[in-house]
Amino acid sequence: MIAKTYSATVLGVDAHCIDVEVDLSIGLSQFTIVGLPDGTIRESRDRILAALSNSGFSLPIRKIVVNLAPAPLRKIGSGFDLPIAIALLGAVGLLPTETLAEYMMVGELSLDGQIKPVTGVLPMTIEAKAKGLRGLVLPKENEAEAAIVSDMQRVPVARLEELVGYFQGSVEIEQGRFDPKAWFQSHRGDCEDLQEVKGQEQVKRALEIAAAGGHNLLMAGPPGSGKTMLARRMGALLPTLAFEEALECTKIHSITGLLHADAPMLTERPFRSPHHTISSAGLVGGGTVPTPGEISLAHNGVLFLDELPEFSRNILELLRQPIEDRKLTIARAAISIEFPCDFMLLAAMNPCPCGYSGSSVGEGKYRKECHCTPKQIERYRTRISGPLLDRIDLHVQVPAVDYAQLADTRRGESTATVRKRVEQARCVQRERFRNTPIRSNARISRKFLEQYATPDADSRSLLENAITRMGLSARAYDRILKVSRTIADLAGAENIQAAYVAEAIQYRVLDRPSTA
């Protein structure tokens, strides 16, 4: 007898519906799973049989064939345990096969019949709804995550015998009450405030411009000057995460298993800060079946690379294409997967290996001065390639903070005040690009750059001087115009003026010959 139900496998950031077919026929006792399963699924045979036995269900001695279709699509994960077990019970006549064919099921089985949570439930729920299935059977711990998708019946279960009773009509299972939009609004966390940072007004201004236009930012300064402290406040300066953006981010975190049962949805923009020893697969994603890396986990948020020159040169070069395209395609022999990675790059570095080039800290015998040779400094800075530096819109120096600034009790502008200006500038940009896929000034294409960021005569003179003296590339020229457009938006100006261009040029300090 043949029984059928549905499950799903996640490839990239999307789930794909899988037909789970089980056939019991007369023959020697054998349990075969076909349809390109991975090692986890091949191992499920013993888990399933033990779970069925320990839950009080016995199978006749038959030849068992499990088919996962479509056959050419690779199946991964332990979530196939539950649908295979239920389809087996349907094949022996314990469950109604017509009903089983109306549900998608996911869940890992323990040996005693307990149903354990799995990753990727959110994209699976979206796929089940798109396929028009009646409902989704899933582990109880994953229910809140699935509840983000509205108008989809959920059957949350904790044990195998409980689900069997549900399909036999002897057990009632009610789905929990969960309003994702209300939860999203009520669980926004407190952010670190910009007021806590002493001094560094120029750097705070650069952070505001970067947030207002979605620009990449590099901070260079000695140890202890506040680079990391400033970076961790960038996420709070960005516009509030919209519900649709939160869904995109939550899908990626669901796939990688980073969601918690008590926090099934992201409410704040992601802030990812990988260590400089990270591998290429960890940063951009990869593996035999590619999974998202840090740049995809930072989608709609911030990717912060502290101690930028300490990252491997090969690792940093991998960022060039994602920064431009806002998506990443990973190709393997049998599969090609695309991951979204629309992130803001925020980086920090010391000016030299010891960190004190260009600044003197302390007095007398406590004075800290740079003892690096010019060649050491040059070698240190050239770890960041010119093409990558070109793709960073703003370079800003972060000087050491003196005692007067540290002891100053006056409070600067709060994060809320700065974010209000950022959101006003973003509103201007949304209106400007409302009929295009562009979401911020940092994403302006060449066509729209000429239309919306045309410099006046005085601005052109400044740009000509900067290009000639600093040897800026065509990409750096475009970045200056984009930053100028953002500064104009913050000022509420319709056109780009010379003052805005001059300020934008000041944020290319690492392009200057004197600091090369």
| Mean pLDDT taken over the chain | 91
The residue behind tokens 């000016």 is: 351
Choice among 125-134, 208-217, 353-362, 433-442 with the minimum mean pLDDT: 353-362
The CATH H-level (homologous superfamily) assignment of domain 216-412 is: P-loop containing nucleotide triphosphate hydrolases (3.40.50.300)
pLDDT in tens, 353-403: 988 887 766 666 667 788 899 999 989 988 999 899 999 999 999 998 887
What's the pLDDT score for residue 516?
A: 37
What's the pLDDT score for residue 178?
A: 83
What's the pLDDT score for residue 362?
A: 65
Q: Is 64 exposed, middle or buried (0-12, 13-18, 19+ CB in 10 A)?
A: buried
**Contact 91/3 with Cβ under 8 angstroms?**
yes
Percent with pLDDT over 70 in the chain = 97
Q: Is 96 exposed, middle or buried (0-12, 13-18, 19+ CB in 10 A)?
A: middle
pLDDT in tens, 393-451: 999 999 988 878 888 888 888 999 999 999 999 999 999 998 888 889 999 988 888 88
361 φ/ψ angles, rounded to the nearest 5 degrees: -120, 135
Q: Is 452 exposed, middle or buried (0-12, 13-18, 19+ CB in 10 A)?
A: buried
pLDDT in tens, 64-81: 999 999 999 999 999 999
Band of residue 470 on the pLDDT scale cut at 50, 70, 90: confident
Is the pLDDT at 138 greater than 60? The verdict is yes
Is the pLDDT at 490 greater than 50? The verdict is yes
Choice among 196-205, 332-341, 487-496 with the minimum mean pLDDT: 332-341
What's the pLDDT score for residue 360?
A: 64
397 φ/ψ angles, rounded to the nearest 5 degrees: -85, 135
Q: Kindly report the CA angle at 168 between 69 and 70, in degrees rounded to 5?
A: 5
Which CATH fold would you assign to the domain 2-178? Ribosomal Protein S5; domain 2 (3.30.230)
What's the pLDDT score for residue 263?
A: 83
Max CA distance (Å), the chain: 91
Q: Which residues lie across from 202 on neighbouring strands?
A: none
Domain map (residue ranges) of the chain: 2-178, 216-412
Q: What is the mean pLDDT of residues 217-226?
A: 92
Band of residue 189 on the pLDDT scale cut at 50, 70, 90: low
**Contact 277/218 with Cβ under 8 angstroms?**
no
The SS3 of residue 292 is: strand
Choice among 81-90, 185-194, 430-439, 456-465 with the minimum mean pLDDT: 185-194
What's the pLDDT score for residue 514?
A: 42
- Full-prediction pTM beyond 0.85? yes
Helix H or strand E encompassing 157 = strand 153-157
What's the pLDDT score for residue 512?
A: 57
Choice among 299-303, 344-348, 506-510 with the minimum mean pLDDT: 506-510
DSSP-assigned states of every residue in 368-437 = B-----HHHHHHHHTTS-HHHHHT-SEEEE-PPP-HHHHH-------HHHHHHHHHHHHHHHHHHTTTSS
Helix H or strand E encompassing 338 = strand 336-340
What's the pLDDT score for residue 371?
A: 85
